[in-house]
Structure formats: C-alpha cells, structure tokens
A and B are shown apart, each in its own frame.
Chain A
Amino acid sequence: DTAVSQTPKYLVTQMGNDKSIKCEQNLGHDTMYWYKQDSKKFLKIMFSYNNKELIINETVPNRFSPKSPDKAHLNLHINSLELGDSAVYFCASSQRISGGRSYNEQFFGPGTRLTVL
C-alpha cells in the first residue's frame, strides 16, 4: 500500500488556469507538508499542517491555497497559474511527536510535475 500518494502525477496546463493537486497519507501521521522542487532540484517547504491546523506558511504567493479536510489529506489549489509555477510539487507527512521525541522524518509522495505553458 502506498504511504503517501499524490494525484495527478503530471499536470500540463495553460497560463491563467486554476488547478488542484491532492495528497493523502495512510501512515496515521499528524503533520503534512507541501514542498516545491525547482529545476535546480532545490527542495523548499511551502506549507505545513499539524492536525489540520496551518503551522508553517512560507513566503508563497497567495495564489497558492492549501486545504486540509482531515489529518490524512492535504490538497493544494493554485489560482491563475504562471510560467514560474512550473516545478515538481511534493507532498510529505511526518509524525512530529513519537515516544516523546520529535524527529520529523519526512515521508514523501511521488511528486506532481506541473508544467505551465
């Protein structure tokens, strides 16, 4: 069974469109994340949710809006897509507190390659 899954795997769209990426984890983790990996492979955090509450919101355009309907799901909606949004977007999850300690080992999904034309 897939631990962290994302859909779609590939997304090709025109500039100005609105699109969503979905993420689900079946690990029972309490924290979920969205990362963006650019063409230079630099992986940068965008958002983090802990028990459905937004705890990290990096300097990301407000065209990006995460939504966490429950602990196991974190979706990313992007409005008015721009050329510079083209990248691979990774969802991840972690159990921030385990046995009284926080290690924050990240479990990543397979990624969604977004191409904006």
Chain B
Amino acid sequence: SQKIEQNSEALNIQEGKTATLTCNYTNYSPAYLQWYRQDPGRGPVFLLLIRENEKEKRKERLKVTFDTTLKQSLFHITASQPADSATYLCALERLRSSASKIIFGSGTRLSIRP
C-alpha cells in the first residue's frame, strides 16, 4: 500500500532563512501532490498542488518541487517569518476516479524563531 513519509517531525529555523520540508512516498506515483498548512486547533488549509507532469510550482514565497524518479516532493518557504510557524502536511492521490482517496502524511511542525 502507498505510504507517505514526512521525514522531519519538527523543524526549527531562524527567521529570514529558507525552510525546506520533505515528503517521500513509496510505490505508485500519484496523479498529483498537495501541501496543506494546519494551525493548532484548526483544520488544514490548502496551499499548493503540483501535478505529476510538473517539476515545480510557485506561489508568492512558497515553492513546491516534484521528482517522480526520487518519489519526493520538496516544499520551500523563502524569507521565513514567525507567522509561517505551523504544521505542514503533504497529501497525494493516485487515481482520477471518484473512488480514489487522498492520503496524508503525518506532517512536519515548523517553528520559525525571531
């Protein structure tokens, strides 16, 4: 069965630096991969989606890469700010049928210190 690993449970970096979070998956390649942000006591919020035929996607200070050979996605936050502190989840879905499901990783808790 498909597994997702976000290899850092927690990441602590200095404000202004670039935060890089990793998401690795096993077995089949997903049709697309998504990244979500979750703050304490709240539901996840969608950030970015990257499709299997895309290498890179950007949105403001966020950048996502997708390497289907390495079976890995990297999520970057440039010029990080304390307000970026949250848990970040990657999620993937394989099939395009209505019966397919999204599988979430366990998340990386990111802390940006001033």
Residues of A within 8 A of B (CB): 4, 31, 40-45, 48, 50, 55-56, 58, 90, 92, 96, 102-111
Contacts and interface: CB of A to CB of B under 8 A. Distances in A.
Contacts of B13: none
Given A40-B106, A56-B101, A105-B34, A110 B43 contact: yes
A105 B43 contact: no
A111 B43 contact: yes
B73 interface: no
B28 interface: no
B87 A41 contact: yes
Interface string B8-45: 00000000000000000000000010101010011111
Interface string B31-68: 01010101001111110010000000000000000000
Main SS of chain B's interface residues?
A: strand
B98 A107 contact: no
Contacts of B91: 106
B106 A41 contact: yes
A103 B44 contact: no
Contacts of A109: 43
A103 B98 contact: no
B49 A105 contact: yes
Contacts of A56: 99, 101
Contacts of B87: 41
A43 B4 CA distance: 12
Given A103-B32, A103-B49, A42 B44 contact: no
Nearest to B104: A43
A42 B106 contact: yes
A92 B43 contact: yes
B98 A50 contact: yes
Contacts of B32: 103-104
